[in-house]
Amino acid sequence: MSLDRFYPIFDSADWLERLVPLGIKLVQLRMKDASEAVLRGHIRRAKTLCAAQGCTLVINDHWRIAIDEGCDWLHLGQEDLDTADMPAIRAAGLRLGVSTHDRTELARALELVPDYIALGPIYPTILKQMKWHQQGVDKLTTWRSLIGQTPLIAIGGMTIDRAAGAFAAGADTVSAVTDITLHTDPEARVRTWLAATR
């Protein structure tokens, strides 16, 4: 299975409606502190949009709602794995991506036979406070050797200039967040990302 090489992550359906039509083919909706009603509204909007645009939509964390809403993809962090009902997720047919930071987490993720493995933060990130310092591109090469054919996603502090190094180190896909959302011209930035990764 191959994933698109560019994987932006946004915290609202508003961002998706603005940027997915530019040609994004793989996107994550990551909303952390919203009510269930608000979440469902954003997920439904995102799902409708992505279906129309031929874009793969990945829902972060909210596995119950993802199942209820008939979503296809789910991303879980390590803390999410503590509470997620994996048999229910599998029974619903959801494809699964899992975040990893060290070998213990990687071993735990691989036991789930995920559809992709994410490693990060590759570079320092301002997105969230993490106990993990930058992993560096060399660790992508190590992960590549450990996970076989499972798609590998590089996340954390990624920019267009850094993407080439991540690909060279073994990443299949590069994920970006603040490099787009904090850019003065997010549309132009997405177009440049698409040109650089296609």
pLDDT in tens, 82-92: 999 999 999 99
DSSP state of 97: E
Q: Identify whether 118 is part of a domain.
A: yes
Say whether pLDDT at 129 is over 90: no
Cα 185 to its chain centre, rounded Å, is 22
- Please, is 138 exposed, middle or buried when counting C-beta atoms within 10 Å of its C-beta (0-12, 13-18, 19+)? exposed
SS3 for 81? helix
Roughly how many angstroms between the first and final C-alpha of the chain, as a whole number? 17
CATH of the domain at 184: 3.20.20.70
Q: Identify whether 146 is part of a domain.
A: yes
Q: Identify whether 171 is part of a domain.
A: yes
Cα 78 to its chain centre, rounded Å, is 14
Domain count of the fold of the chain: 1
- Here the tokens at position 111 are 């036991």
Q: Domain span at residue 112?
A: 6-197
pLDDT in tens, 135-155: 889 999 999 999 999 999 999
Share of the chain above pLDDT 70, in %: 95
Measure the CA–CA gap between 47 and 14, rounded to whole angstroms: 12
Q: Identify whether 41 is part of a domain.
A: yes
Q: Identify whether 153 is part of a domain.
A: yes
Say whether pLDDT at 131 is over 70: no
Please state, as a whole number, how many other Cβ atoms lie within 10 Å of the Cβ of residue 61: 20
Backbone φ, ψ for residue 106 (5° rounding): -65, -45
Backbone φ, ψ for residue 35 (5° rounding): -70, 165
Element (H, E) at 53: helix 36-53
Say whether pLDDT at 130 is over 60: no
Say whether pLDDT at 26 is over 80: yes
Measure the CA–CA gap between 152 and 172, rounded to whole angstroms: 5
Backbone φ, ψ for residue 171 (5° rounding): -70, 145
- Residue 8 pLDDT: 98
Q: Identify whether 1 is part of a domain.
A: no
Q: Of 13-22, 128-137, 159-168, where does mean pLDDT reach its minimum?
A: 128-137
The pTM of the full predicted model, rounded to 2 decimals, is 0.96
Spell out the residues 6+ positions from residue 42 whose beta carbon is closer than 8 angstroms to its own: 12, 13, 29, 31, 34
DSSP state of 27: E
